[in-house]
Amino acid sequence: MDEAGRAAERVARESYGRLVAFLSARTRDVAGAEDALGEAFTSALRVWPAEGVPDNPDAWLLTAARRRQTDTVRRTQTRKAGEEHLQLIGDEIEAVADEQDVIPDRRLALMFACAHPAIERAVRAPLVLQTILGLSAEDIAAAFMIPPKTMGQRLVRAKTRIRDAGIPFRVPDPEELPERLDAVLDAIYAAYSKGWNEVGDDAVPELADEAIWLGRMVVSLLPDEPEAKGMLALMFYTAARRAARRDAAGAYVPLEQQDTGLWNNSLIALAEDLLHQANAAGPSGRYQIEAAIQSAHVARRLAGVSSWPAVVALYDHLLALTGSPVVILNRAVARAEVDGPRAALADLTPLEADKRMLSYQPYWAAKGHLLARAGDTAPAVEALTIAVGLTTDEALKAYLLKRLASLRAT
């Protein structure tokens, strides 16, 4: 890839959501903003190789996208409305030209617009993921275990709803925030999880750190909301282990084998403090419980505390709260440490009828792990073989292949 292509890729990765939020703030047309920005990137890939990458690629793309929006307004608006709209667009282009290093960050306002009560509840978090972070419908569908075509249709309808209903792009008043919070938190954590599991370590910090930044912003907006603090604590716990996830050769290292000396104690301390504040502020929600599970893992590894019974109990609460198949899976893995692999495998029985598990890599990896521990070598090999086929992370794939080779040798 040439320099222009690399620059365009970097801007798309780092600034997509910020540019879409800015472009759609006045028009409330998210789909139109995405189309305009897409054409701006196409122009950049045509112009930059010949003329060189501009000093401020973000501002160049913003101006190009605004010109595309201007052309669209000319074609679709009445003359009077178009003139008024063009004046607003012109004002913003001039403002950006005057302050080349500053593009107002309106992502939080767009996030809460996507979580507006007028938007179907099930699509609020996916809509945030696509508009703010530029994730594809396919990626979002995989995260929410929904067919891609269905997810794509829902996203299109939601963007049309924002435009047609004139939903304002602003951070809501304090009394309006709680009803929109769940969708915003779900989107932020889904983005963090994708960044955390992204193929290639170079890609992990960017999306994951962006999600942490958004989480910090939400906590600053809602300092008394325990679930926001619980989610931020959860992200800090796992981020603290980033340096230990791979060994010096880049090989995958599971939690139980990680060098705790590589863990970031400052992030762990931040997570513990946030979780303490969250637990003192009100009843425990999903993110508080998940953060508490991570705290128990930290205590087991750092202090030698036998925390598996507590982890299973926490998963019991989380399962009662969410009914999630992912929680059933994670609870079974934890229960194997208390009651053995046979009991854990029995807990997985309800998931066998869930068609979503057919393409869910963690299910097959966990099932293969439990079957191997139970001495059922042949079905363990079968499950792990499926897990390898579903794995896109080369380091994790190499780890699973090594386990497979060990099982076949026995």
CA-wise closest residue to 222 among 107, 214, 322 = 214
Distance (Å, rounded) from C-alpha 29 to C-alpha 38?
14
What integer pLDDT is reported at residue 75 of this predicted model?
Answer: 63
The pLDDT value recorded for residue 198 is 67
The pLDDT value given to residue 104: 55
pLDDT at residue 80 in the model: 46
Q: What is the structure's pLDDT at 109? A: 81
Q: Give 145's DSSP letter.
A: T
Query: Splitting the chain (410 residues) into consecutive groups of 10 residues, what average pLDDT does each group show?
Result: 79 79 78 87 88 87 84 60 48 45 67 88 87 82 86 91 84 77 89 75 63 88 90 96 92 94 96 95 89 95 90 96 95 97 96 93 97 96 97 93 91
In the numeric block, which tokens belong to residue 71? 């052309």
pLDDT score of 36 = 87
pLDDT at 99: 45
Which amino acid, residue 19?
A: L
pTM above 0.75, yes or no: yes
CA–CA separation, 87 vs 105, rounded Å?
A: 21
Output the pLDDT for position 368: 97
- CB–CB of 284/317 below 8 Å? yes
Residue 32 buriedness (CB in 10 A; 0-12 / 13-18 / 19+)? buried
Cβ-based neighbour number of residue 107 at 10 Å: 22
Crossing angle for the helix pair 226-239 and 286-303, nearest 10 degrees?
40
